[in-house]
Amino acid sequence: MKTKRLKFLTFTAASLFLAFSACEKPNPDQQSAEDDARGSYIMSDAFAVSTNEAGGSGKSSLPECVEVYRNQGDTIALTFTNCDFRGHLRNGTIIINYTRNLTIGERAVSSIVTFENYTIDGIAVEGKITTTFGGTILTPSIHVVAEDMKATFTDQRTITWDSDLTYKITSGFADGDITTNVYEMSGTASGINRKGVAYSSVYDKVITKGSCEGGYPVSGSVTIESENGTTVIDYGEGECDNIITVTNNGLSVTVTLN
């Protein structure tokens, strides 16, 4: 999930650069870009935590500040109490109802994820995430649909969104070493940002390599549409670097991310 958090920083850095550039600056929708990235990260983080537990062998990898409930069937409840986990302070419960496709393998898990009084860094999270495992153990393809998602911040402003994304792990999944994983994400999202403005996003083959120390995506693009027009973020041609190209209203700039 470090990658998703860095993706959020990528959007923010690019938007800030554009917002304070010269007089001929484009007009990027910084709020929608930031909120789309934040919503994507919140969803992907919950998906990763739940999939890790549902797809495990029964021995939890979570810290002591998490109470893990497993019934004899297909439900897991993870209750966090002031728990600093994966770099975020968490409270409340993530509930996972899951099924396994044993014809594919023990790790082929589909699930429905919901939340009960759950917060991450003080942000209250609501909604439902449905994941469907496809492909093979060697090259999984996981369809992730987020419905009626809502993030409420401490100032009571909110993001609401729905998304339909496909995560493909094109290599590395079978060996269990995340540093060899290559992830490809494509799909769409739409929502209302914290300023009450509607936006939509298209993810086109956004690829991340576990071997890249910086954690930034290495290729692919995200296109964001709003009342500000079209803002496109291009992650490059596959190199492990921190350089992106941002285009808005016909003007492109190259941004080096810190």
Q: Which residue did the predictor score with more confidence, 21 or 251?
A: 251
Tokens of 6: 């860095």
**How many other CB atoms are found less than 10 A from the CB of residue 84?**
11
Cα 151 from Cα 142, distance rounded (Å): 23
Residue 166 bridge partners (DSSP): 143, 186
Query: Among 23-27, 96-100, 105-109, 231-235, which range has the highest average pLDDT?
Result: 96-100
Cα 116 from Cα 137, distance rounded (Å): 31
Q: Which residue did the predictor score with more confidence, 3 or 245?
A: 245
pLDDT tens digits, one per residue of 183-199: 888 999 999 999 999 99
**To the nearest whole number, what is the mean pLDDT of the chain?**
79
pLDDT at 224 over 80: yes
Domain tally, the chain: 1
pLDDT for position 7: 42
pLDDT band at 257 (very low <50, low <70, confident <90, very high): low
Tokens of 59: 């021995």
pLDDT band at 179 (very low <50, low <70, confident <90, very high): low
On the 0-12 / 13-18 / 19+ scale of CB atoms within 10 A, 125 is buried
Print the domain residue range for 250. Answer: 2-256
> Which helix H or strand E contains 137, and what residues bound it?
none
